[in-house]
Amino acid sequence: MTVRAEVASVGTELLLGQITDTNATYICQRLAECGIPVYFRQTVGDNFERVQQALRLAWSRAELVVFTGGLGPTEDDLTKEAVAAALGADLVEDAESLAHLEQFFARRGRTMTPNQRRQALLPRGAVAIPNRWGTAPGVFWEVEGRVVVLVPGVPREMRGMVDEFVVPELRRRGWVGQDVIRSRVVRTVGIGEGQLEELVRDLLHTTNPTVAPLAHLGEVHLRITARGTPAEVDRMLDEAEARLRERLGDAVYGTGEETLDAVVARLLREAKVTVAVAESCTGGLVGERLTSVPGSSAYFLGGVVAYSNGAKEDLLHVPEELLERFGAVSAEVAEAMARGARERFGADLGLAVTGVAGPGGGTEQKPVGRVFLALADRDGVHSVRADFGEEPGREGVRRLASQAALNLLRRYLMGRRPGG
């Protein structure tokens, strides 16, 4: 049988726009991976009548209905009561759930209130989904060949129950489709969205797999989505990734969840080289990103954030005459900063960033968004200029500058000289 699913989120705070519904996103992702199509989602407040309406509507057009939210101990939490009433069942106390609650409160030395105890109630005939992360159990309830699932709105509890109970149970019932939908993200850096689309334009118009560009600040991702049997999907994803890599070369830095920070860290570890940084406009962001990965002390020796010219001279030994002649935002000073960082910390490589983050401080010669990056090694130093403009804003320019610095280092470590 082909099962259709519907997801319903319960919570007045969603309808007031006080929180964004990431739970529905997560549940939809898992269902797509199971090959179970979702055609509708609903959102309702903590209201007995409207939760019932949502159940009845979903029941008319889906075989699997997943509710999230409204299972907790407060008086607002009434999803279970409303769903049970809509399907004509009464609630009975579940002994195991009650024992779990009693243990939970005993361990914390707290007394269980009647409202807390209410969480152990289940629609007659339903199965409790254990809550290893909090108090309210979930509900897995088969009614006349259909299933309604209730999971809490607390993201960690919801995710745990979906992954550890709901998906396995759907699989056991044979409800997981032969065809699944899976995505893979291919990550690029150093190439604009327009240029990238030119290079892969024909690949953006296929229907299975589909390829969709997703622009982020300083990087563009391409999301490949394929539908078919797990084996077909894997093959389609691999082939599409290979085609993208062929077109885009080493603008591709990774796939999936791998960040640029993690890729650069891996390359540094593999190359067994050390690095030190000198920053001005990024204020410490390049150092922060190079140390965001565990074990960074193996390759990161340190950095200097030199905001003032005095600091550039004293701590990085940038010659005063360079600062006077070319200004702090110049290729010459960036190169001197990179050499200075390398020497001061005794590192194999020195990486430097200097620029105008804005919004003030720009001139005709040195507009807001201009950044110089430099990389020094034993043999010399190389610098590049980037113009990000005013549009990204201060935080945007700083982020883009750190991105360009990490990419300069990445390309160097991949066996290219800077700029090569």
> Is residue 200 a contact residue for its own copies (CB under 8 A)?
no
> Is residue 148 a contact residue for its own copies (CB under 8 A)?
no
**Residues of span 370-409 touching its own copies by CB under 8 A:** 394-395, 398
> Is residue 79 a contact residue for its own copies (CB under 8 A)?
no
Q: Name the amino acid, one letter, at 334.
A: A
Name the minimum Å distance from CB 330 to its own copies: 17
Strand 219-228 versus strand 252-255 pairing type = unpaired
CA-wise closest residue to 190 among 391, 386, 393: 386
Name the minimum Å distance from CB 181 to its own copies: 6
Is the Cβ–Cβ distance between 73 and 129 less than 8 Å?
no
> Is residue 3 a contact residue for its own copies (CB under 8 A)?
no
3-class state of residue 190 by DSSP: coil
Q: What is the rounded distance in angstroms from the CA atom of residue 385 to the CA atom of residue 370? A: 7
| Pick 98 or 159: Cβ nearer its own copies | 159
Is the Cβ–Cβ distance between 202 and 243 less than 8 Å?
no
| Pick 132 or 417: Cβ nearer its own copies | 132
Q: What is the rounded distance in angstroms from the CA atom of residue 329 to the CA atom of residue 120? A: 65
Is the Cβ–Cβ distance between 397 and 368 less than 8 Å?
yes
- Tokens matching residue 349: 């490589």
| Pick 34 or 136: Cβ nearer its own copies | 34
Window 28-67: contact mask with its own copies (x via CB under 8 A): xxxxx----xxxxxxxxx-x--x---x--x----------
Is the Cβ–Cβ distance between 408 and 375 less than 8 Å?
yes
| Pick 128 or 182: Cβ nearer its own copies | 182
Strand 91-93 versus strand 121-123 pairing type = antiparallel
Mark the segment that binds its own copies (CB under 8 A) among 9-17, 82-90, 151-159, 377-385: 9-17
- HSE, side-chain direction, 13 A CA sphere, residue 256: 7
| Pick 285 or 336: Cβ nearer its own copies | 285
> Is residue 359 a contact residue for its own copies (CB under 8 A)?
yes
Mark the segment that binds its own copies (CB under 8 A) among 12-20, 88-96, 153-161, 408-416: 12-20
Q: Burial of 420 by CB count in 10 Å (0-12 exposed, 13-18 middle, 19+ buried)? A: exposed
Strand 138-143 versus strand 127-129 pairing type = antiparallel
> Is residue 17 a contact residue for its own copies (CB under 8 A)?
yes
| Pick 1 or 39: Cβ nearer its own copies | 39
Name the minimum Å distance from CB 370 to its own copies: 16
| Pick 299 or 412: Cβ nearer its own copies | 299
Name the minimum Å distance from CB 25 to its own copies: 4
Strand 219-228 versus strand 210-216 pairing type = antiparallel
Question: DSSP string covering 365-410, please?
Answer: SS-TTEEEEEEEETTEEEEEEEE--STTHHHHHHHHHHHHHHHHHH
| Pick 40 or 239: Cβ nearer its own copies | 40
Question: How many amino acids of this chain bind its own copies (CB under 8 A)?
Answer: 76
> Is residue 181 a contact residue for its own copies (CB under 8 A)?
yes
**Residues of span 209-268 touching its own copies by CB under 8 A:** 212, 223, 225
Task: Tell me which of 1, 16, 257, 378 binds its own copies, using CB under 8 A.
Answer: 16
Q: What is the rounded distance in angstroms from the CA atom of residue 82 to the CA atom of residue 8? A: 13
Name the minimum Å distance from CB 329 to its own copies: 12
Task: Tell me which of 165, 175, 345, 388 binds its own copies, using CB under 8 A.
Answer: 345
Q: What is the rounded distance in angstroms from the CA atom of residue 323 to the CA atom of residue 85? A: 76
Task: Tell me which of 116, 135, 188, 282 binds its own copies, using CB under 8 A.
Answer: 282
> Is residue 109 a contact residue for its own copies (CB under 8 A)?
no
> Is residue 73 a contact residue for its own copies (CB under 8 A)?
no
Name the minimum Å distance from CB 278 to its own copies: 10
| Pick 101 or 276: Cβ nearer its own copies | 276
- Tokens matching residue 38: 């979702």
Task: Tell me which of 206, 208, 229, 292 binds its own copies, using CB under 8 A.
Answer: 292
**56: which DSSP letter?**
H
Chain center to CA of 1: 34
**Residues of span 296-315 touching its own copies by CB under 8 A:** 296-297, 300-308, 310-311, 314-315
Is the Cβ–Cβ distance between 12 and 75 less than 8 Å?
no
